[in-house]
């Protein structure tokens, strides 16, 4: 017996020397981006040769680990399909990853409205769970762990979608995956990396925040909380950065409520976040997001912080390959910061992706956004982006529409719809200067495009 024990102890160094480690999301049930050259990596003894063989091609890929003990391989993926396997060997070590699908991979992130799920008693998701069995959808739930240092790995792995794995998973992410899978007829994977109550600063690399005086100053104003991290970069480090290199089709984002106290810099902050993620991945992937919903933030009348942050979000559309979903019509209760109609939010996000990424034919698939205005006598004519058909009013009159002259005194406005333009006036305002539409925290205006998408709230002034 002693000899056997001695023999085992002699073997241990050999086994350890030959073993490699993979990221937790390179495991059974994983999904890889189709028609791509995807990154596949891990860690082992420096200088050792690693062999990777994907079953869809049986190509033998050999790479060596670096001086830092990391190896990086490139795998050419085919059109959607599966299940496949990947075999990894390193000396005496051998591992086979099974039940792999090739399809579309999307990263979903943000705060509580992205995170909201069946555990939050969300009826839409609870009703969906009995029918959530779909092995063509893969879910990756990222644990809530923050870090002050950059991390290379997480503790979570891919799961097949079913009634159990969909419990507690982001309703928006799930419904996006369901719609993309149904429309494209390919496997879809969604990574849910969201955390309620978090600011955009914690999802942005600390170096990016610190490089800008205004962003750095604002980031330091957030106080520590028990339920969420507040340090710049804390969730970038642990919940986003580990995925850098993992090929994705794009990102969906729902966040902003936690930043209303510093609304004036949100466009700069949000743009920095988007650019930093794209720079880290090395390509300009699509980034689609949700404008925050009407909610009573108890703002002072002269400072509608929710409306002002929505304006900042609209400005971020200046970045390429971005799209914004407006949800002013999906709010049954302005005293609830978590509107419950998540299926509709997901449908609107997915619709943008289906049109712009997957080239499905669609017209007016985005909410109209204020573009420019022109004063014509006693009227102001508003032009919009993202609208080809006619504007329409749901109700007798447009609500939350105001006009002002240079006195800055806004009064209710009359209007005329001229196809895709809005003509605004008031018989008592002879020299109009500015128009505001839905520009309060709690406005639920009723102007839409002819596909039923609400016009984004706006103002033409900068008062």
> Domains in the chain, ordered, with CATH?
16-101 (2.60.40.10), 103-356 (3.40.50.1110), 369-459 (no CATH)
Mean pLDDT for the stretch of residues 135-163: 98
* Residue with token string 């943008």: 352
Tell me the per-residue pLDDT of 38-94, one tens digit each, with 9 for 90 and over: 999 999 888 899 999 999 999 999 999 999 899 999 999 999 999 999 999 998 899
Tell me the per-residue pLDDT of 91-101, one tens digit each, with 9 for 90 and over: 889 999 999 99
Mean pLDDT for the stretch of residues 193-221: 98
pLDDT > 80? residue 242: yes
Determine what percent of the chain is predicted with pLDDT higher than 90.
92
- The contacts of residue 290 (CB under 8 Å, 6+ apart) are 110, 113, 253, 254, 324, 325, 327, 345, 349
**Sign of the C-alpha dihedral, residues 314, 420, 409, 329?**
negative
Tell me the per-residue pLDDT of 112-130, one tens digit each, with 9 for 90 and over: 999 999 999 999 999 999 9
Helix (H) / strand (E) containing 199: none
Residue 450 sits at φ, ψ, to 5 deg, of -75, 0
Question: What's this model's pTM, rounded to 2 decimal places?
Answer: 0.94
Strand locations in 142-297, DSSP E?
159-161, 188-194, 250-254, 287-290
Mean pLDDT for the stretch of residues 233-254: 98
At 3 the pLDDT is: 33
Asked whether the beta carbons of 350 and 315 are under 8 A apart, the reply is no
Whole-number average pLDDT of the chain: 94
Rounded Cα distance between 348 and 451, Å, is 11
DSSP string, 210-243: HTSHHHHHHHTTSPP-SSS--STTHHIIIIIGGG
Tell me the per-residue pLDDT of 422-460, one tens digit each, with 9 for 90 and over: 999 999 999 999 999 999 999 999 999 999 999 999 999
The two tokens of residue 181 are: 């899978």
Distance from CA of residue 12 to its chain's centroid? 45
Strand pairing of 49-54 and 81-90? antiparallel
């Amino acid at each position: 017996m002693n000899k056997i024990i001695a023999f085992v102890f002699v073997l241990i160094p050999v086994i350890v020397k030959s073993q490699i480690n993979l990221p937790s999301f390179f495991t059974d049930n994983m999904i890889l981006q189709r028609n791509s050259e995807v990154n596949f990596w891990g860690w082992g003894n420096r200088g050792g040769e690693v062999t990777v063989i994907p079953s869809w091609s049986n190509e033998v890929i050999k790479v060596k680990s670096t001086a830092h003990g990391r190896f990086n391989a490139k795998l050419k993926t085919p059109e959607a399909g599966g299940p496949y396997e990947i075999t990894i060997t390193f000396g005496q070590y051998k591992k086979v990853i099974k039940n792999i699908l090739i399809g579309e991979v999307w990263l979903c992130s943000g705060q509580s409205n992205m995170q909201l799920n069946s555990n939050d008693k969300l009826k839409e998701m609870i009703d969906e769970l009995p029918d959530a069995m779909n092995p063509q959808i893969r879910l990756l739930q990222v644990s809530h762990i923050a870090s002050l240092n950059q991390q290379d790995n997480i503790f979570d792995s891919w799961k097949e979608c079913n009634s159990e794995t969909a419990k507690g998973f982001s309703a928006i992410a799930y419904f996006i995956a369901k719609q993309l899978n149904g429309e494209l007829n390919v496997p879809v994977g969604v990574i849910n990396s969201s955390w309620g109550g978090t600011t955009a600063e914690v999802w942005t690399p600390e170096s990016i925040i610190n490089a800008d005086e205004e962003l750095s100053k604002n980031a330091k104003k957030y106080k520590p909380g028990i339920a969420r991290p507040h340090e710049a970069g804390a969730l970038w480090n642990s919940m986003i950065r580990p995925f850098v290199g993992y090929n994705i089709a794009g990102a969906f984002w729902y966040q902003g409520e936690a930043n209303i106290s510093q609304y004036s810099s949100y466009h700069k902050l949000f743009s920095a976040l988007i650019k930093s993620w794209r720079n880290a991945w090395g390509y300009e992937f699509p980034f689609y997001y949700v404008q925050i919903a009407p909610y009573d933030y108890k703002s002072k009348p002269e400072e509608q912080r929710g409306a002002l942050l929505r304006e900042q979000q609209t400005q971020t559309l200046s970045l390429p390959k971005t799209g914004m979903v407006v949800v002013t019509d999906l709010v049954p209760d302005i005293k609830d910061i978590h509107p419950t109609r998540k299926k509709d939010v997901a449908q609107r996000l997915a619709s943008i992706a289906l049109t712009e990424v997957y080239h499905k034919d669609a017209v007016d698939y985005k909410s109209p956004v204020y573009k420019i205005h022109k004063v014509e006598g006693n009227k102001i004519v508003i032009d919009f982006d993202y609208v080809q058909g006619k504007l329409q009013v749901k109700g007798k009159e447009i609500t939350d529409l105001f006009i002002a002259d240079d006195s800055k005194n806004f009064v209710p406005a009359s209007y005329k719809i001229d196809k895709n333009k809005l003509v605004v006036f008031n018989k008592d305002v002879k020299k109009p200067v500015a128009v505001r539409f839905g520009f309060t925290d709690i406005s639920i205006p009723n102007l839409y495009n002819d596909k039923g998408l609400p016009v984004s709230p706006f103002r033409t002034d900068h008062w």
